[in-house]
């Protein structure tokens, strides 16, 4: 199977050590989203989710930002009158775009990591929240940003933010558009790790590579269990965990882990 080609310089893609590295590449506008960028990202995430050579996904931004969200300048240049798409057409395209980026990131059973070299604002923050883990450079910051430009939110950010930091904090961040430093983001659980700016790329990739080369079936079941924890009661969670544990016991990766433990070595997982 051929590697994925983005078809645009606004999104870079590399498959390395089982990690699909997606880089938003509009550094002069802090990687603000454009139709070309989001179109390529939709395809890249779908490809990474389905290709067996990919064990984990790493999303980052070129230059000094992760993603500033929507391109505010372009918003002021939208077509008007007869050239403007109907409200239904706008809604349909928007929903498809949001589902195929944040939705697929959230639903994919492969681990995902967002590496934040700088600002993650608006939709950029939502995309980061849709990933399993977030690693931030010390100089990075996050902001919902929507209220500042008279908008309400997209990519499911309110849902994602509520589950990451809780309803009270999510309301504060959505309503105020407060800029949250990397250090404060770590304190409230908004990011998983904070590292020195110059160490971000290596640290985030090492984390993604560790996940990509882990026991893929078990990691998928772990994500299932964590998702269930938000929607079902404890008794039901026990039953579902037990079912998945029994299935995980039959995998080649589990058997390899037992052999490695007995032989005092690191396991070599194959995803089977």
pLDDT in tens, 30-78: 999 999 999 999 999 999 999 999 999 999 999 999 999 988 776 656 6
Q: How does 94-131 read in b/e, with b if 16+ C-beta sit within 10 Å?
A: eeebbebbbbbbbebebbbbbbbbbbbbbbbbbbbbbb
Q: What is the 3-state secondary structure (H, E, C) of 119-181?
A: EEECHHHHHHHHCCEEEEECCCEEECCHHHHCCCCCCCHHHHHHHHHCHHHHHHHHHHCCCEE
pLDDT at 80 over 60: no
Phi/psi of residue 117, each to 5°? Answer: -75, -15
- What are 135-146's pLDDT values in tens digits? 999 999 999 999
Calculated CA dihedral for residues 271, 238, 99, 68, nearest 10 degrees: -90
Q: How far apart are CA 91 and CA 267, in angstroms?
A: 48
pTM: 0.94
At 81 the pLDDT is 58
Q: Calculate what percentage of the chain has a pLDDT beyond 90.
A: 92
* Summary mean pLDDT of the chain: 95
Q: Calculate what percentage of the chain has a pLDDT beyond 70.
A: 96
Helix (H, G, I), strand (E, B) or coil at 26: coil
Its sign, for the CA torsion 245, 250, 256, 261, is positive
Q: How does 221-239 read in b/e, with b if 16+ C-beta sit within 10 Å?
A: bbbeeeeeeeeeeeeeeee
At 84 the pLDDT is 78
Its sign, for the CA torsion 213, 218, 221, 222, is negative
pLDDT at 82 over 70: no
- What are 189-246's pLDDT values in tens digits? 999 999 999 999 999 999 999 999 999 999 999 999 999 999 999 999 999 999 999 9
Q: Are strands 112-116 and 119-121 parallel, antiparallel or unpaired?
A: unpaired
Closest CA to 106 of 147, 165, 156: 156
At 212 the pLDDT is 98
At 52 the pLDDT is 95
At 177 the pLDDT is 97
**What residues does 33 pair with on adjacent strands?**
70
pLDDT band, residue 153 (cuts 50/70/90):
very high
Contact between 127 and 149 under an 8 Å Cβ cutoff? The reply is no
Helix (H, G, I), strand (E, B) or coil at 95: helix
pLDDT band, residue 154 (cuts 50/70/90):
very high
């Amino acid at each position: 199977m051929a590697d994925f080609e983005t078809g645009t310089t606004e999104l870079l893609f590399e498959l390395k050590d089982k990690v699909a590295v997606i880089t938003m590449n509009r550094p002069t506008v802090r990687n603000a989203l454009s139709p070309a960028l989001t179109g390529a990202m939709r395809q890249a995430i779908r490809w990474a989710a389905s290709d067996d050579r990919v064990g984990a996904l790493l999303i980052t931004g070129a230059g000094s930002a992760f993603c500033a969200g929507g391109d505010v300048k372009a918003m002021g240049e939208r077509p008007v009158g007869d050239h403007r798409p109907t409200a239904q057409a706008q809604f349909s395209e928007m929903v498809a775009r949001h589902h195929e980026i944040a939705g697929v990131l959230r639903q994919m059973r492969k681990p995902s990591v967002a590496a934040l070299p700088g600002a993650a604002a608006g939709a950029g923050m939502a995309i980061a929240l849709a990933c399993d883990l977030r690693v931030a450079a010390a100089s990075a910051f996050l902001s919902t940003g929507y209220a500042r430009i008279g908008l309400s939110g997209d990519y499911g950010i309110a849902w994602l933010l509520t589950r990451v930091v809780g309803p009270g904090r999510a309301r504060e961040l959505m309503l105020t558009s407060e800029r949250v430093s990397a250090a404060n983001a770590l304190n409230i659980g908004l990011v998983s790790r904070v590292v020195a700016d110059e160490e971000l790329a290596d640290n985030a990739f090492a984390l993604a590579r560790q996940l990509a080369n882990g026991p893929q079936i078990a990691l998928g079941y772990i994500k299932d269990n964590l998702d269930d924890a938000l929607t079902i009661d404890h008794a039901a969670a026990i039953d579902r965990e037990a079912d998945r544990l029994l299935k995980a016991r039959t995998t080649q990766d589990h058997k390899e882990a037992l052999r490695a433990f007995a032989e005092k070595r690191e396991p070599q997982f194959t995803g089977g």
